[in-house]
Amino acid sequence: MKGFAPIAAVFGVLAAVPLVVHSNVTLNFLVVALMIALAGQGWNILGGYGGQYSFGHAAFFGTGAYVTAILQVRYGINAWLAFGAGIASGAALGGIIGSLTFRSGLRGSYFALVTLAFAEVLRIVASVAPITGAGVGTLIHLDLRAQAFQFQSRALFYWVILTLVGVSLVVARLIERSRFGAWLIAVRENEDAAKALGVDARSVKTAAMVISGAITAAAGCFYAQYFLFVDSGIAYGTWMSIEALLTPIIGGVGTVFGPLLGALVVKSLGEGAKLVTGDVPGLDLIVYGAVLVLVIWFTPRGLIGGFAQVGKRLTRRAVPATTSIREAGHG
């Protein structure tokens, strides 16, 4: 199980944090960062490993959030069950959107557009439909009991989201080492070549979208339980679609830890920007947009990819420069 040792190590270190850090502000920052990391890991499964760049992942986040909230508020369902239902609906939505779009063979710009459109449609519907509370939104009643999935202590919320993130890390690692993962990555690299090797590209991509939808929906479910309020802008707004894709790209697409690293970096940059110039709306997103452009420009494989490249360059210098052309070209 050596492939999982780094995950266990990171999990252990992060789990110890609330034992040392007691500031609510810091814990809150970390909780939000972990939530974004979870949403980003969802995107990463489809976009990083599968190469299908969705610009509308808010669709899954919002669905998870609304399902969790509505089941509790309108149907009195237990909060933990509602949470599970939220994740399941994210998966189902992933299956629906995936089978529709991949059947039509949509890729690239078209895929980005159609995912954007789905998120927008959901946002508009949520902003007027009575079941979501329309413009007013849905409020979950404060009920600080464990059965209601609400906790007095922020540390407990922290451990919940950390566990969810940990699970998503394990899922990513399992995918990396499985046949499904090898096929998914092959589809990303060259779909036609993959098909010629027996890969059912459409099913593989749809399955990736189901997993992706479930993970990002889980982040939405958590949002609902932590902030106790959901409206159409929060649930399906473009801010989440952007953050869900930003964190894996900055951290490293197609890697296990990319979204986590990216989320911590992005959120730190956002906080840093606010410290410098005060809490003016829009500033953190300006920073995010600029960082996105810079990362694509200079380290398209993200921070983890950047470290790997530096590592390679350092070890390459150890090889003597006298390797003959014939040797170098062998094979």
Return residues touching other proteins (CB under 8 A): 51, 53, 55, 100-101, 103-104, 106, 108-110, 112-114, 116-118, 120-121, 124-125, 127-128, 177-179, 182-183, 185-186, 189-190, 192-201, 238, 242, 245, 249, 280-283, 285-286, 288-293, 296-297, 300, 329-331
Give the integer Cα–Cα distance in Å for 50 and 44: 8
| Nearest in space to 250 (alpha carbons), one of 262, 242, 239, 263 | 262
Q: In the complex, what is the shortest distance from the CB of residue 260 to other proteins, in angstroms, rounded to a whole number?
A: 20
Q: In the complex, what is the shortest distance from the CB of residue 144 to other proteins, in angstroms, rounded to a whole number?
A: 34
| Nearest in space to 219 (alpha carbons), one of 143, 163, 137 | 163
Q: In the complex, what is the shortest distance from the CB of residue 200 to other proteins, in angstroms, rounded to a whole number?
A: 5
Q: Tell which phi-psi region holds residue 138, choosing left (phi > 0), alpha (psi between -120 and 50) or beta.
A: beta
Task: CB nearer to other proteins: give 18 or 259.
Answer: 259
Task: CB nearer to other proteins: give 13 or 192.
Answer: 192
Task: CB nearer to other proteins: give 171 or 292.
Answer: 292
Task: CB nearer to other proteins: give 300 or 311.
Answer: 300
Task: CB nearer to other proteins: give 14 or 170.
Answer: 170
Q: In the complex, what is the shortest distance from the CB of residue 277 to other proteins, in angstroms, rounded to a whole number?
A: 9
Task: CB nearer to other proteins: give 84 or 237.
Answer: 237
Q: In the complex, what is the shortest distance from the CB of residue 274 to other proteins, in angstroms, rounded to a whole number?
A: 12
CB-count burial class (<10 Å; 0-12, 13-18, 19+) for 276: exposed
- For residue 125, the tally of other CB atoms under 10 A from its CB is 14
Task: CB nearer to other proteins: give 45 or 221.
Answer: 45
Q: In the complex, what is the shortest distance from the CB of residue 270 to other proteins, in angstroms, rounded to a whole number?
A: 12
Burial state string for 188-200 with b = 16 or more CB within 10 A and e = fewer than 16:
beebeebeeeebe
Q: In the complex, what is the shortest distance from the CB of residue 130 to other proteins, in angstroms, rounded to a whole number?
A: 13
Task: CB nearer to other proteins: give 1 or 20.
Answer: 1
Q: In the complex, what is the shortest distance from the CB of residue 9 to other proteins, in angstroms, rounded to a whole number?
A: 23
Token readout for 15 is 């789990």
Token readout for 234 is 């929060």
Give the integer Cα–Cα distance in Å for 202 and 205: 5
Task: CB nearer to other proteins: give 71 or 199.
Answer: 199
- Does residue 75 contact residue 190 with C-beta atoms inside 8 Å? no
Q: In the complex, what is the shortest distance from the CB of residue 14 to other proteins, in angstroms, rounded to a whole number?
A: 28
